[in-house]
C-alpha cells in the first residue's frame, strides 16, 4: 500500500525525499522545489535521464488509448511536453486540460504553447491531484508523467483519476521506478546521488532540489506496489511496462 499516514492523525508524517515531514508540509515543500526548477525543467529532466526522457514521453503518448475528438486530462502537466504530444493524437476536435498544482510550472507550460503557436484546444488549470475540480466521468484519458511521486496522498490521487474517467477510459502513469538489473543499481545510485546534485548546482544553481528529486524516486512505490494501489483505487486490468530496465515504468488502468 502507499506510504501516507492517515490525515486525521494530527501527528501524521510522510516523506519528503529521505526526510520525514508533517503531512501538511509536503505540498509546500514540493512546491518550493518545482518553483525553483520551473525555468530549467527540461534541463532537469535531461540531467536526470541523460536525455532519454524525450523518448519515454513519446512512447508513453504513442501507446495511449486515445482518439481524435477525445478529452484528456494531463496531470502534473508541467511545461506541457505530454500535452503537446497528446494534441497531435486528439486533433482539432479534441481538447486537453493541462493541470498542475504549481502555478510557476503551469505558466511556463502556457508560455511555451503560445510561443509555439499552440493555443486552441488547451485549457490550463491549477489543481491538486488529490481533489480534482471536475465532475465524474469527464475524460476519455487521464495521464500523469513524472508527477505522482511528488503527490502527498497517492491513493487519493489515483481514486480521483478513476473518478473523473469515463467508463472504458484509460489512466496512464509514467514515473521513475525500480531498476531491475542488480549490476546497474550501483551505477544508477552514483549518478543519482553524486553526479545529479552537482550537475544541478552547476547548470541550475540548485543542488538541493536535485537531491530531493533523486531521493523522491527511491521513495516512490516500486512497480508491483503501484500496480496494487491502482487496483485498490478501482482500476481494472491494472498493469505496467518497464522501460530502460525499470528506470521508468508505464502503469495503465481502465475504468470498467
Residue ranges for the known binding site for S-adenosyl-L-methionine are: 79, 100, 128-129
Q: What are phi and psi of 96, to 5 degrees?
A: -130, 130
Annotated binding residues: 79, 100, 128-129
- Residues pairing with 96 in the sheet: 72, 122
Picking from 244, 189, 241, the residue whose alpha carbon sits closest to that of residue 63 is 241
187-196 contacts: CB < 8 A, separation 24 or more? 188/247, 192/217, 192/218, 196/47, 196/48
- Buried b vs exposed e over 224-244: b needs ≥16 C-beta within 10 Å? eebbebbeebbbeebebeebb
Residue 93 CB partners (closer than 8 Å, separation 6+) = 68, 69
Alpha-carbon span 123 to 138, nearest angstrom: 14
Picking from 31, 41, 81, the residue whose alpha carbon sits closest to that of residue 61 is 81
Amino acid at each position: 500500500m502507499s506510504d501516507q499516514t492517515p490525515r486525521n492523525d494530527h501527528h501524521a508524517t510522510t516523506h519528503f525525499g529521505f526526510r520525514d515531514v508533517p503531512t501538511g508540509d509536503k505540498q509546500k515543500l514540493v512546491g518550493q522545489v518545482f518553483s525553483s526548477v520551473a525555468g530549467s525543467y527540461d534541463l532537469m529532466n535531461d540531467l536526470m535521464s541523460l536525455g532519454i526522457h524525450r523518448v519515454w514521453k513519446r512512447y508513453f503518448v504513442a501507446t495511449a488509448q486515445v482518439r481524435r475528438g477525445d478529452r484528456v486530462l494531463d496531470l502534473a502537466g508541467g511545461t506541457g511536453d505530454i500535452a503537446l504530444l497528446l494534441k497531435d493524437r486528439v486533433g482539432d476536435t479534441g481538447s486537453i486540460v493541462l493541470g498542475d498544482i504549481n502555478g510557476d510550472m503551469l505558466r511556463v507550460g502556457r508560455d511555451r504553447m503560445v510561443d509555439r503557436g499552440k493555443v486552441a484546444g488547451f485549457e490550463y488549470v491549477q489543481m491538486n491531484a488529490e481533489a480534482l475540480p471536475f465532475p465524474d466521468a469527464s475524460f476519455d484519458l487521464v495521464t500523469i508523467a513524472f508527477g505522482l511521486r511528488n503527490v502527498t496522498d497517492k491513493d487519493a490521487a489515483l481514486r480521483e483519476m478513476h473518478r473523473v474517467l469515463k467508463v472504458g477510459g484509460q489512466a496512464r502513469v509514467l514515473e521513475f521506478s525500480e531498476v531491475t538489473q542488480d549490476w546497474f543499481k550501483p551505477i544508477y545510485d552514483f549518478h543519482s546521488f553524486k553526479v545529479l546534485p552537482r550537475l544541478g548546482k552547476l547548470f541550475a544553481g540548485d543542488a538541493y532540489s536535485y537531491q530531493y528529486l533523486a531521493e523522491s524516486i527511491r521513495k516512490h512505490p516500486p512497480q508491483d506496489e503501484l500496480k496494487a494501489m491502482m487496483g485498490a483505487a478501482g482500476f481494472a486490468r491494472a498493469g505496467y511496462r518497464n522501460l530502460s530496465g525499470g528506470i521508468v515504468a508505464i502503469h495503465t488502468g481502465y475504468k470498467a
